[in-house]
Amino acid sequence: MTEFSRRRFLQLSAVTGGALMFGDLIGPVMGLTGRASLSATGEPIKIGILDPLSSPYKTSSIHDVHGANVAVDWFNKRGGVLGRPVVILEADDASNPETAVKGATKFIKEDRVDVLMGTFNGDCALAVSALAQKENTLFMVTGAHLPELTGAACNRQTFVFMPNARMMAQAVAPHIAKAYGTRWYMITAATVDGTAAAQAMLEAGKSLAVDFVGETVTPFGSTDFVAAFAEAKAKNPTAIILNLYGWDLVHALKAYAKLELAKEKIGVGGMIAGEQIGRPLGYANNAGIWGLIWDPKIDRDSSRRFIQGVIDKYNHTPTSRCYLGYAAMTQILEAIQRAGTTETVGLIKALEGHEFDGLKVGPSSFRTWDHQHVQDVLVGEAYGKELGLGHYKILATVASDLVAGTVEQNTCKL
């Protein structure tokens, strides 16, 4: 995998002319052909994005919107989709399922959106998914990792772009065990997301003969994790697994660094982290081995173009949450283009079984029988310094067929 610095990437882009480069090359990446008109007319295509913009997940969710806006800008600059401009409507679900349903209902009933996307909290995603089924509206889940979304609670209107908890845990667990040993203690958020992550890590640990020596459950939105780490340390673990995300994970890693547990040979890691955690944490405090959805060091032309698009618009290197917003929005708009309509039935057919460039090494596709996006999962080791683009050393790119499961293992009945 080629590593290069953000500074070098910007230098190269300046030499080649960033805007011209994207105007010339984005068509093949997005499935567009010819030189589309730069003016779109007619009724806008409306995409309603729900995300926890005012909760402990907020540092991640704004990046979801950043990525989606980059994708929409590129389509609109080439004439929109089906000759129509694309617009994004945003709503804050506040990590509350009732608020999420209220926002989604307004999108559908008042704003007349064509597609719903977003959510991070699992309970919000489940609630909006049920509403989408009732209202026959396509819903693309970008951030929630609950296996139930493409399992027992699946429906035809819902597609899940995020790798689920089982996929992430199966990829990262062997690397945590190899680096730190197999005596694990877990600190878990008291949410459906935390519970799903803990269950996935338990399942992944079984085949590795992991000894789970205890667990502390912490309230969602906790800021002080010193007591939780003290409970963990008392059990003499070789690794502490953090089933947390957003600001919960930031505060937990601050406590891990403050207590200097690494010096006591106690490792740290978990199912998911990323640049959106390292930035507010302060990279010097980042540590551990984690599952990653995407990383800016992926050596693909499409990934590099995406990186440049985010830098041009927002002046920061994209995070994996930017990736989810961008790539999911791209697939929604490409599906509308292929289907020739915004009608839900046509979009479902356009997405089911579709293989596409997911900006990773291996191919991506939406499985027909559960609507899960099957994709590579990355494993990274956090570094407290710049390491090319991004702050994780990539330990592995785990192919989807090794972690995604089979139809026989799934309870989805579409």
Same domain? For 60 and 156 the reply is yes
Q: Is residue 117 part of a domain?
A: yes
Same domain? For 354 and 320 the reply is yes
Structural domain for 104, as ranges:
6-162+298-375
Same domain? For 347 and 227 the reply is no
Structure letter (DSSP) for residue 44? P
Specify which residues 356 forms β-bridges with.
364
The two three-digit tokens of residue 24, written as one number: 């010339």
Q: Is residue 103 part of a domain?
A: yes
Q: 148 — phi, psi (to 5°)?
A: -60, -25
- What per-residue confidence (pLDDT) applies to 110? 98
388-411, pLDDT tens digit by residue?
Answer: 678 899 999 999 989 998 998 889
Same domain? For 236 and 327 the reply is no
The two three-digit tokens of residue 20, written as one number: 């011209």
Q: How far apart are CA 263 and CA 257, in angstroms?
A: 10
- Mean pLDDT to the nearest integer, 360-382: 96
Same domain? For 104 and 48 the reply is yes
Helix (H, G, I), strand (E, B) or coil at 116: strand
CA-closest candidate to residue 302, choices 15, 71, 3, 36: 71
Same domain? For 206 and 343 the reply is no
Q: How far apart are CA 92 and CA 106, in angstroms?
A: 12
pLDDT higher than threshold 90 for residue 382: yes
Task: Quote the percentage of the chain above a pLDDT of 70.
Answer: 89
pLDDT higher than threshold 80 for residue 170: yes
Q: Is residue 404 part of a domain?
A: no
Same domain? For 92 and 206 the reply is no
The two three-digit tokens of residue 48, written as one number: 């309603």
Q: Is residue 406 part of a domain?
A: no
Q: How far apart are CA 406 and CA 414, in angstroms?
A: 15
Same domain? For 36 and 157 the reply is yes
* Last-in-domain residue among 360, 375, 390: 375
CA-closest candidate to residue 215, choices 246, 188, 248: 188
Overall number of domains in the chain: 2
- What per-residue confidence (pLDDT) applies to 28? 40
Same domain? For 242 and 273 the reply is yes
Q: Is residue 408 part of a domain?
A: no
- pLDDT mean across residues, the chain: 89
Same domain? For 183 and 223 the reply is yes
Q: Is residue 380 part of a domain?
A: no
Q: Band the pLDDT of 26: cuts 50, 70, 90.
A: very low
Q: How far apart are CA 144 and CA 403, in angstroms?
A: 17
Q: Is residue 329 part of a domain?
A: yes
- Mean pLDDT to the nearest integer, 201-208: 96
- What per-residue confidence (pLDDT) applies to 81? 98
Q: Is residue 394 part of a domain?
A: no
Same domain? For 83 and 132 the reply is yes
Same domain? For 218 and 260 the reply is yes
Residue 241, domain CATH: 3.40.50.2300
36-63, pLDDT tens digit by residue?
Answer: 345 677 899 999 999 998 877 776 668 8
Q: How far apart are CA 406 and CA 150, in angstroms?
A: 12
pLDDT higher than threshold 80 for residue 246: yes
